[in-house]
Structure formats: structure tokens, C-alpha cells
Chains A and B, each alone.
Chain A
């Protein structure tokens, strides 16, 4: 993507929040949060070759860290800063044994991790139990509009970090290891260390988004972080295009807007009460299946490649 397009996109997304009605402003904030988490998932899947079915666990850890700290009197800004740190620390501690696993084993291990966390949160009175944690103070950002700009800045920083990580020596090593771990290891790539670092970084993104989510809603419960949420992040990453910088944003935008539209459709008078949830399940499922089978690299690479071929250059995939 060239500089001018990027600048135009930044201007449009920055100008958008004041023009949006309150209902859509909430969508804007939630979209930004989803894109932030998905950026981590995409990096994990694309550059470290690991599927995480438990990314919402780190989202929850960040949220609960920020929520618990501020409920007990810590300033909100300190709570927000603690969210990514706690999530990253948890990822390092848990990742050290878990990242020995590969492929489906790792996918199920991360799923198990989230189930354990949800169960512990549901039973822990210190975390508000199944009822949840209430009375989390607001961040001093001046209402919903402030949150919209905060998440814009956070997402921008996260994307810049992703870009720099990918372009770094470690990023090149990881990309090599995603294609052939043996070859990369033989060439001196410290795979285990890099994988753990990416795992922790993606957890930090999720934790930061979770912290903002906690302040934005002012309320957290284990039910806010279902397994389906983790699957949603994977769907967004896959649909947008794994291992691209713009992919998570495109994927999150497509999914969030589509689900929002279907929600509006599903709550029309005359629709059965289960329509919104059924429609959103069906959309996640069909988009995920259709993308992995027919557009395995996701939307962004497919569009970029299409543009290259139209300009008369060979496809980057060599087909």
C-alpha cells in the first residue's frame, strides 16, 4: 500500500468518529479493539505458524488486570498500562511449556487454557465470580469519542510494531521457520525464543485491548469472553489475510460490519428471537470455511495480487 492511500485512510478514519451516531460509535470502538487483538493473532499464525484458539484468554487477562487494579484504588492510567504487561507475563509463563506443542496440539492447548481461565474466573470470588466485576471506573478521555480516538492510536501503534517486527531480523527468522522449522533452526534461528516472544507480544496486544474494553464497558464477566470470541479473532485474521499488516484491520472491519448489518436484520419485527445469534454463527462459519478453502491467503493478499496482475506484472504467487 502506498503512502498516499495510507494517509487518506488515516484522515478518513480520524474524521469519522464525531460524525457517527452513538450506536455506531460503539461499533467503531469494538471494531478497533477486535482489530488490535486480531493483529496479534495474525502475527502468531502468519509468522510463527501457530493457531491460537484461546486468544480471548489474554483479552480477558488484560481486562481483569485493569479492572481489578482500578477497583482496588489504583489510578486508571496505571491499570491500563498494567493490562498488556500482565497479559504478556502470563503468556511467557504459560508459553514456556505450551510452545513445545505444534499444530493442532497447540490449538487445543490454547483452547484448554481459556476454558481453565474462564472456569477459575467463574469460581473466584476475588474476581466477582460468575456475576462479574462491576464498578470499573472510566478512563479520563472524555466519553465515547475519547475512547474512539484512544483505540485509533492504540491500533496504529500496534500495526507499526507489527510492521517493524516483521521487518526485523527476528521477523525474518520466524517467517523462515513458518515454512520449514528444521531449515530455519539449522541456519541458526533461535526459534523457541522468537516464538515465545511473538506469543508474548500478541498476548500484550490482546491484553491492552482487554484493558480498554474493561474501562469502556465498566463491567466484566467470564461470559464476556466465550470460546467463540477466540474463534472470531481467528476468523477475522484468516478472512483478512494471515501474515499481512492490513489483513487484521480488513478482516475485523468486514466481519464486524457484516455481523452488525445482520444483527439489524435479525432484530427486525417479524424475525424469530433466535435470528441474530443464528445469523452471526452462520456468517462466521461460512466466511471461515469459504476463505480457507477458496481464498486461503485471505482478502488483502488476493486484492493486492489482483492489482499486480492487472498492471501486467506476474502474480507474486507464481500462478
Chain B
């Protein structure tokens, strides 16, 4: 039983990391209808920067904050390239973000090299219900859940959040009522960058990063986000947690090597079921 609780909490911690990556994807997709392939790169940049800053003697907290702000800036830059040119379709923007994700590799290798990096997180071991686990997992959960609550409230209750959502559901009408859709899109990219950065900063102490970790991060994040059709943050949170727990249970009770397949098959199944439910003929937006 204590094994089970241990796996459950570890899984929730890992899943919270996926959910944060997913939340960034959702924030950007909701507003711009762009699936941001560079989302994993924000996490990698923030994690590597935190490791460097901590190494340079900056205290915990400050280093993480600086890294998340840098990731937000990176998000803004990616957004400026991806949607800055008028008339860029979401499909084109996806390919642009794909290119920028590859470009991030070049930048990351020049600055930080191609070796894995990590840094210490919250020290100590927590005992919950007889199970021992790294206290850091609880920290991940403790940060992620409020972030999601805040995000859901932001999109549903504030004027800015509603304006952001309006851009996605009907860009023309949004412009008619005076919403600057491009500025809103850039804001969404910055928000997505910060959320991606937060994911990187929080999960790196328990899972080291290399420059090409972004593929795993984006795949797991997308698997979580796709469950909520890329638009619903709370479903993405549930999806991320479910994914983390499922992977940890599978690793804990046997087939450890097949964690990634679980995420991928889950994502494929969710997408195919959703496509079947939508019907054979797609809507006009592409």
C-alpha cells in the first residue's frame, strides 16, 4: 500500500510538470489557434538558465524567477516571429515554431553545451501515508494546482482573459469590438513561455534536461493538452496528472521501458476518438 501511495504522489508530481507544459500550449492555442512546437524549448531554456544562475551564486527563488521571466521573453520572441507577420495562417505558424525549436538547439548548445544539466530542488524526504518520496514532488504539485486555478479564473472571469478567448473563437468579431488580436496573441505567447519555463524550472531537480529534452516534454504536454481539445486548461491538468500517474505506475509495477509509449498511444487514441466524434468532414478552419 505504501508503494502505491508513493507511486501515486510521484506520478502526480511528474504529471504536474506535463500539465504545466500543456497549460502553455493551451494558453497559446486558445488565443492564436497555433500549436506551438517550441513549447518544450521554453522549459529547456529556463532549466538550463536556472542551473547557470544557481551555479553563479544566485539564491533559490531569485534564479527561478529570472529563468521564468527569460522564458516569457523567449515566448514573446517566438510569438513575434510566428504570428507577427500579418496573414500568417496557424499551419504556417506551426512550421515556423518547429523551425524556431530547432534554432533553440543551436542557441542552447552554444551557451550550455550538449551535456545533461540539473540542479538541486527542495531538499529532504517527505513521508506521506507510510510512503517515502522526495519532498520536491510535493512542491511541484503545490505550485501547479494554484497556477491552474489562477489560469482558469483568468480566462473565465477577467476582461483580458475574455478578450484573449474572443480572439480565438472569432478573430473578425474580436477586431470589430476593438480587440488588438495580434497583441493578444503575443501576450499569449509570453504567457505560454512563462508557463513552459515554470515547468522546466520545477521538474529539472527530479529529471535532468539536455538540449533535446524538448521533444519528450512537448509530446507529453501535448498528450495532456489534447485530452481537453487544446482549449480547456482544467482538463489538461487532469490529463497531465493522469498521464504522470499512469506512467509511474507502469514503471513501478514492471514495464518501465514503455513509459513514453503510454503517453503517445494515449494521445493518438484521444485524437482519433475526437476526430471520429467531430465527423468525417472537418470544419473550415485549418
Contact = CB atoms under 8 A, between A and B. Distances in A.
Chain B, interface residues (CB within 8 Å), range: 35 or more
Interface stretch (B108-116, B143-151, B155-163, B193-201): B108-116
Contacts of B226: 105, 108
Contact of A234 (B95, B106, B110, B272): B95
A116 B102 contact: no
Given A111-B219, A293-B85, A296-B92, A228 B102 contact: yes
A318 interface: no
A51 B92 CA distance: 11
A285 interface: yes
Contacts of A231: 98, 102
B35 A104 contact: yes
Interface stretch (B11-19, B56-64, B260-268): B260-268
Given A102-B282, A112-B219, A182-B281, A274 B110 contact: yes
Contact of A293 (B96, B276, B281, B284): B96
B177 interface: no
Given A109-B268, A116-B264, A289 B81 contact: yes
A115 B81 contact: no
Contacts, number: 122
A185 interface: yes
Contacts of B219: 108, 111-112, 115
Contacts of A304: none
Contact of A112 (B258, B267, B284): B267
Nearest to B271: A105
Interface string B83-118: 001001011101110111011011001100110000
A197 interface: no
A208 interface: no
B105 A281 contact: yes
Interface in B245-286: 257-258, 260-261, 264-265, 267-268, 271-272, 275-276, 280-282, 284, 286
Interface of B: prevailing SS: helix
A292 B286 contact: no
Interface stretch (A67-75, A93-101, A211-219): A93-101
A296 B219 CA distance: 27
Contacts of B268: 97-98, 109, 112
A227 interface: yes
Contacts of A274: 109-110, 113-114
A51 B95 contact: yes
A285 B110 CA distance: 15
A98 B286 CA distance: 17
Interface in A244-281: 274, 277-279, 281
Given A102-B286, A111-B219, A116-B264, A285 B272 contact: no
B222 interface: yes
A139 interface: no
26 contacts: A101-B271, A103-B94, A107-B35, A108-B222, A109-B268, A119-B258, A119-B260, A123-B257, A185-B281, A228-B102, A235-B99, A274-B114, A277-B109, A278-B106, A278-B109, A278-B110, A281-B102, A281-B106, A285-B99, A288-B95, A288-B96, A288-B99, A289-B99, A289-B100, A292-B99, A293-B81
